[in-house]
A and B are shown apart, each in its own frame.
Chain A
Amino acid sequence: MIATQRLHLVDRVNPVSRLAAAMLLTTPLLLTVDWVSAAVALGVQLVLFAMAGVTPRVLIARGWPILIAAPIAGLSMLLYGQPEGTEYWSFWLARITDGSIELAVAVTVRVLAIGLPAVLLFMNVDPTELADGLAQIAKLPSRFVLGALAGARLVGLFMEDWRAMALSRRARGIGDHGVVRRFATMAFALLVLAIRRGSKLATAMEARGFGSDHPRTWARESRVGWPDALLLCIAVAIAVLAISCAVWAGTFHAVWA
């Protein structure tokens, strides 16, 4: 995994602002299924991310699930999209038509335009900083934010548990067969361990005064500044540009239409 790739601008933005930027950028794109808005948004994003320091290698290393998912979503739309215009092929409910071809192209590009920014913006997010931002900037309830953060930190232990359990299955004589069953026993045991650990962690947190109604202070101040404002402006600008182009080109196709 390429975890240490630094990004210009993005790395200086509070994780909460990155979350907001991802939402501002992609939510408007969810309103329409058309290839123009998606292609404009994707094109601008790719140029900007390249300028921020995302190399093609990083793009593939971090974005491969999206790169795979996009054509698959397109194929589904190709076969079952609302039929319109000339029909080229049909089998039972599947019909490839002019309309479904256009929708398929639109959906493929749209998955990329919506999926990539989230992955790339969150590439270097530190969970502690995200939690600080969610509680201090976004003012979400601190009990829930910190509880979730502490719970998330146990993931490292879960990974060790998982490895030990896999070895123990071999020692118990059930290591060779029944992948599904073995996975099920391990997932269940992991859940048991997770809940046990979580219960103990809760006690440890309460022992340090966590969870009272008393207002808490923050040792680390979560800040926002001009890089945050800039990123949010860029996000809004891309969304506005993409939607405007689609309207201008006459391809805007609202999802509820």
Chain B
Amino acid sequence: MHTAASETSSPSTPRTSRDLRWRVVDIVVASVIGVATGLLFLFWNNVGYAWFSAADALTPGLGGVAVGIWLIGGVLGGLIIRKPGAALFVELLAAIVSALVGNQWGIETIYSGLAQGLGAELVFAIFAYRRFGLVPAMLAGAAAGAAAWTLELFVSGNLAKSAEFLGLYFTTVVISGAVLAGLLGWLIVRGLAATGALSRFAAGQDVAQRV
């Protein structure tokens, strides 16, 4: 088997069933998910932001409840692509789409995407890119929320706000990340796998039962 193939495939990447190198389909589908998530952000930048700002302006830190949706790119990328950097790539690309089309945060959006993507990526890396169940998904969402909170301390000047505000805001952002990004992202990926759309990915082959 693979008689002719073995000499041409690069020797540094042995053919295992869990190849961590990105295939073209990984890159393109990650990009498509990133762009689609970016479009979702454009919608949420209005709807979600309305809640965020109303809550943020009138209540201390409860605006964080709406933040989770902005963190979903990292969870989707990590769960579907299952390669190092996928969570970061998808969340960052979504942020770039959102920034380039135009939103209220400008270039700052890209920094947010970077931080949120890294937060989610860190969790998948801790699980050594081997576990993609509900627990890693919710932890990735929560970590993305924590990263977003940390970045906002500086770029939004939140360090100038009171400790009570920051504590409440941290709690809501992390819970929102775990639920709206982690749980929801996990449910979406499960649904996608059931449609057969992920047949070229390990995430879809686990579920596919057709012979």
Interface residues of A (CB under 8 A from B): 22-23, 26-27, 30-31, 33, 62-63, 65-66, 68-70, 72-73, 75-77, 79-83, 92-94, 103, 106-107, 110-111, 114-119, 122, 125, 143-144, 147-152, 154-155, 158, 187-188, 190-192, 194-199, 201-203, 205-206, 210-211, 213, 253, 255-257
Contact = CB atoms under 8 A, between A and B. Distances in A.
A93 B60 contact: yes
A23 to B, nearest CB: 6
29 contacts: A65-B104, A66-B103, A68-B104, A69-B104, A72-B56, A73-B53, A76-B57, A103-B157, A107-B157, A114-B106, A122-B100, A125-B100, A143-B22, A150-B28, A151-B28, A151-B35, A154-B32, A155-B35, A155-B39, A188-B188, A188-B191, A191-B33, A191-B192, A195-B32, A198-B33, A199-B28, A203-B25, A255-B157, A256-B154
Contacts of B198: 195
B89 interface: yes
Given A30-B154, A198-B32, 13 more contacts: A26-B107, A76-B63, A77-B160, A80-B165, A115-B106, A116-B106, A117-B107, A148-B31, A191-B188, A199-B197, A202-B28, A211-B23, A255-B155
B200 to A, nearest CB: 5
Given A82-B160, A118-B99, A154 B107 contact: no
A116 B103 CA distance: 9
Instruction: Describe A's contact surface by its main secondary structure.
Output: helix
Contact of A147 (B24, B46, B106): B24
Contacts of A94: 60
Given A150-B31, A202-B25, A255-B160, A119 B154 contact: no
A211 B25 CA distance: 10
Interface string B36-67: 10011000011001000100111011010000
B154 A255 contact: yes
Contacts, number: 190
Contact of A191 (B25, B36, B100, B154): B36
B122 interface: no
Contact of B60 (A33, A80, A103, A198): A80
A30 B35 contact: no
A197 B162 contact: no
Contact of B89 (A63, A117, A144): A144
Given A77-B160, A199-B200, A151 B106 contact: no
A215 B161 CA distance: 51
